[in-house]
Amino acid sequence: MLYSHTTPAAKREAFRAALRPGAALQFPGTFTPLSAKLIQEQGFDGAYISGGVLANELGLPDVGLTTLTEVAQRGAQIARVTDLPCLIDADTGFGEPMNVARTVQEFEDAGLAGTHIEDQFNPKRCGHLDGKNMVDLDTAVKRIAAAADARRDANFLIMARTDLRGVDTLPATIDRIKALVDAGADAVFPEALKDLGEFEAVAKAIDVPILANMTEFGKSELFTRERLADAGVAMIIYPVTSLRSAMGAIERTLATIKAEGTQAAAVPEMLSRARLYELVDYEGYNRFDNGIFNFRVPTADIGTNNANLS
């Protein structure tokens, strides 16, 4: 009720302990607190908060238009409701190294378990688009060093993301990754690797955990968890899956209403009223103060005309 039962410090400690090569922890993407509850219910290892998804949810493209305040606020709202650790996307850190330092501390205060910072120019591009512009190595290193120096909780994870593979060779990408690890990165996110062999090569080249981005319609094949674990991957994110699933369902339902004049045909596919009440824990609030929440919480929906619409 109200907040998660696990403190941010405990989430970070558990995340650190579980993040090991080959663990292939699964972090589905979430953009709302309510969907984070679903991720926890399904038994996943954590939740991922994508900067691109937060931008898209605001009706913006993923080109660095969101602000630190907007991202940190949504991150706090999500972290508040789940016992799972949440990794959040910091894009390029929202500015120069001093801004990166502030970003880390804002995310710590928001209850998040870690963040990743990338090495593109600002405005940045989605990692699976062509034509990305990369900052030089010195700039990339300064961002990570500032992030590592700024954190106050040693268990807050600083992850370095590099998009260099999209514009350069795998050996050059590995060289950059090693420099970012030397600068203080606890883990790395090599974006848009070509195949499992490249994941294996990166995992063997460094002593810190690596992340695999299994985004739909991207440059990497959608490998199974087992295959990524065998390649030495420590963590897998599915950043846009929830947003694409939700928006696809909304689009289909709106088309049904437009075509048929009613949503009745779409009701069986909706989250029921009883299920929604269960997710937001009406019963828990009722027990807490039945002087305010003094109504009977439905355990099943009756009929189809209004069961899912309130």
Q: How many CB atoms are located within 10 Å of the residue 128 CB? A: 18
CATH number for the region 8-239 comes to: 3.20.20.60
Pairing label, strands 157-162, 114-118: parallel
Residue 83 is among the residues annotated as catalytic for this protein: no
Instruction: Note if 3 is an active site residue.
Output: no
| Set 116, 128, 143, 165: catalytic member | 116
Of the spans 50-54, 118-122, 306-310, which averages the highest pLDDT? Answer: 50-54
How crowded is residue 98: how many other Cβ atoms within 10 Å of its Cβ?
11
Per-residue pLDDT reduced to its tens digit, 92-115: 999 999 999 999 999 999 999 999
Mean pLDDT (whole number) for 27-52: 97
Buried-exposed string 85-94: b where 16+ CB fall within 10 A, e elsewhere: bbbbbbbbbb
- Mean pLDDT of the 220-233 span: 95
| Residue 240 reports pLDDT greater than 80 | yes
Of 161, 165, 198, 308, which one is the catalytic site residue? 161
Pair 217, 3: CB distance under 8 Å: no
- And the tokens for 155? 């268990």
User: Quick one: pLDDT at residue 291?
Assistant: 65
Choose, from 106, 108, 118, 186, the residue flagged as catalytic: 118
Which candidate in 191, 282, 301, 308 is catalytic?
A: 191
Residue of 70, 131, 80 whose CA lies nearest to 103 = 70
Number of residues in the chain: 310
Distance CA 175, CA 164 (A): 10
Whether residue 281 has pLDDT greater than 50: yes
pLDDT of residue 219: 75
Cα separation, 278 vs 282, in Å, equals: 7
User: Which strand ranges, in their side-by-side order, compose the sheet holding 235-238?
Assistant: 25-28, 235-238, 211-213
What pLDDT, on a 0 to 100 scale, did the predictor assign at position 309?
A: 42
Q: What is the pLDDT of residue 127?
A: 55
Burial string for 270-309 (b: 16+ CB within 10 Å, else e) reads bebbbeebbeebbeeeeeeeeeeeeeeeeeebeeeeebbe
Active site residue 70: no
What integer is the mean pLDDT of 252-262?
Answer: 98
Please tell me the predicted confidence (pLDDT) of residue 115: 98
Our answer to whether residue 91 is catalytic in this structure is: yes
Provide the mean pLDDT of the chain: 92
Task: Name the more confident of 74 and 127.
Answer: 74
Pick 164 or 285 by higher pLDDT.
Answer: 164
Helix and strand numbers, DSSP H then E, in the chain: 12, 8
Q: Quick one: CA torsion of 123, 114, 218, 194, rounded to 10 degrees?
A: 110
Catalytic site includes residue 138: no
305 included as an active-site residue: no
Q: Is pLDDT of 300 > 80?
A: no
**How far apart are alpha carbons 186 and 191 in whole angstroms?**
16
User: Which whole number is the average pLDDT over 278-288?
Assistant: 85
Closest CA to 144 of 175, 117, 106, 121: 117
More confident residue, 62 or 89: 89
Give the closest residue to 199 by CA, choosing from 168, 160, 165. Answer: 165
Confidence (pLDDT) at 104: 98
Known active-site residue 116:
yes
